[in-house]
Amino acid sequence: MSGETVRPAFEGRERPLLSYGIAFPAATARHLDGTFRASRVYVICSGSLSRNTNVMDQLETALEPDRLVGHWIGMRSHTLWSEVLQIAEEVQTAHADLLLTVGAGSLTDGAKIIALVLANRVSTPEELETLAEGPKKRKYIEAPTLPIISVPTSLSAGEYSNFAGGTEDHSKRKYSFQPPIRGPELVILDPWLAKTTPGSIWLSTGVRAMDHCIESLCAIAGTTTKSDKLALNALGLLVPGLLRCKRDRSDREAHLQCQLGSVDAMAACTSGSIELGASHGIGHQLGPLGVGHGETSCILLPAVCKFNAKYNANREKQARVRQFLIQDPIVSDVLRARSVNVETSDLGDILDAIIRELGMPRSLSDVQVGRDQLDGLAENSLHDRWCKTNPVPLKEKSQVLEILEMVV
């Protein structure tokens, strides 16, 4: 079982640890004993993985049956409170001492909120609201103690943050949960497992990771030389890696390159005090309308760049990112093939070409969001912290609508 690389995901932070180089069931078994001394594991596994692969069988074989004390198959997108509370009850009943998630970001967010729920003995939606950001947030919140291991199959990189989003079932409003909530202590990267992820999810969440980089690089507050270096390094891995994955889903190296790129993307936007922008902010509220996390970035990121440039907020920063991207030979081939005039194009145009080449949605109509939903979407977006910290702060509904009109 040689060949495993284990290191902190981020320089200067002990957790989360990153593991790659061996298959995830073997890595999980190794770390249950060595890192966590855990013996009662509750697994939250993606529905599609459970149906289309034998991951649960692999885990049962690797972990021995008596260590798997419960499992939940499939969580709906955007992490519904009702499911979080149901799973928390099961985890408590099973006396689990570790949560393992295998799948995409909604599961990871779910696990983070479940651990917070258990630490604070919460069992109803009304009580859960007191743990979320907002006027009802309680003064004292206990930090979670239940450790989490995540095996991600997408690139949205929520595994690396001490932050989660969860959606209240009835209002469809997404609430944010911030520290003392904690992310996973170990993230296991398995490019062979990643290759089973549907292309639309893999590539769109890769664009989400690009969005982390670009909104970090183009932020007007909180960036540092270190954060810029990390974000550019991540973009240099992600953009060509995604274009290679689009061409060949059996390219193991390209998949691992994208996974490592998404780690640096998250390192960039969580180092220092970077304030992200409206692509993330509006995207959070587009999510509960049935749009995948990654797809929100595919649709919004180029338009938000154009909006910020139009109002002169961060043109020099955008020009630097544009220059970095057009120097990549794989990107340069895409621009040539798509007849993009490199001389006159701005960052929004370059991103538009890359996202189209990946075959991702570029408008709200592509994802069945109609004009009749724009008003509510704009209203909800004004509550989001990242809209307030956009390089052009979004304070009026008309500003959000201007961005949405570009992508209708």
pLDDT at 61 over 70: yes
- Of 172, 192, 212, the domain-final residue: 192
Q: At what angle are helices 315-326 and 347-357 packed, to 10 degrees?
A: 40
Domain shared by 39 and 146, yes or no: yes
pLDDT band of residue 139 (cuts 50, 70, 90) is: very high
Structure tokens at 408: 């209708």
| Whether pLDDT at 84 is above 80 | yes
DSSP per-residue string spanning 295-324: HHHHHHHHHHHHHHHHTTSSHHHHHHHHHH
**Rounded average pLDDT over 47-74:** 91
Q: Give pLDDT, residue 77.
A: 78
End-of-domain residue from the set 192, 213, 231: 192
275 touches 239 (CB < 8 A): no
**Mean pLDDT of the region 202-215:** 95
Q: Is the pLDDT of residue 2 over 60?
A: no
Q: Which amino acid is at 249?
A: R
- Considering the domain architecture, whether residues 180 and 303 belong to the same structural domain is answered as no
Q: For residues 164 and 112, is the Cβ–Cβ distance under 8 A?
A: yes
Quick one: average pLDDT of 103-121? Answer: 94
Q: 250 and 393 share a domain?
A: yes
One domain for residues 188 and 203 = no
Q: Percent of the chain beyond pLDDT 90?
A: 88
Listed range (82-91, 123-132, 279-288, 305-314) with the worst mean pLDDT? 279-288
Same domain, 114 and 240: no
Q: Are 81 and 128 in contact (CB under 8 A)?
A: yes
Name 196's Cβ contacts closer than 8 Å, sequence gap at least 6. 49, 52, 53, 153
- pLDDT mean over 323-351: 97
As for how many domains the chain has, the answer is: 2
Q: Which of 173, 192, 211 is the last residue of a domain?
A: 192
- Are 10 and 107 found together in one domain? yes
Give residue 273's pLDDT band: very low, low, confident or very high (50, 70, 90).
confident
pLDDT tens by residue, 119-137: 999 999 999 999 999 999 9
Q: Which domain holds residue 102?
A: 5-192
Tell whether 185 and 202 lie within a shared domain: no
Rounded Cα distance between 84 and 114, Å, is: 6
245-254 pLDDT, tens per residue?
Answer: 999 999 999 9
144-155 pLDDT per residue, tens: 999 999 999 999
Maximum distance among all alpha carbons in the chain? 63
Give the pLDDT confidence score for residue 271 in this predicted structure: 76
Give the predicted TM-score (pTM) of the model.
0.89
Together in a domain, 230 and 316:
yes
Q: Where are the alpha helices (DSSP H) in 130-198?
A: 191-194
Q: Is the dihedral of CA 195, 200, 203, 208 positive or negative?
A: negative
> Which has the minimum average pLDDT: 1-10, 190-199, 230-239?
1-10
- Give the whole-angstrom CA distance, residue 193 versus residue 218: 33
List the CATH number of the domain containing 366.
1.20.1090.10
In terms of DSSP bridges, do strands 17-20 and 5-8 run parallel, antiparallel, or are they unpaired?
A: antiparallel
Tell me the C-alpha distance between 69 and 36, whole Å. Answer: 16
| Cβ-contact 45, 103 below 8 angstroms | yes
Question: For residue 172, what pLDDT is reported?
Answer: 86
The CATH number of the domain holding residue 27 is 3.40.50.1970
72 forms beta bridges with 44
Average model confidence (pLDDT) across the chain: 94
Same-domain status, 178 and 235: no
What confidence category does residue 292 fall into, taking pLDDT thresholds of 50, 70 and 90?
confident
Render pLDDT for 341-369 as a digit per residue (tens, 0 to 9).
Answer: 999 999 999 999 999 999 999 999 999 99
The answer, yes or no, to whether residue 1 has pLDDT greater than 60, is no
DSSP string, 388-408: HTSSS---SHHHHHHHHHHT-
Give the pLDDT of residue 233. Answer: 97
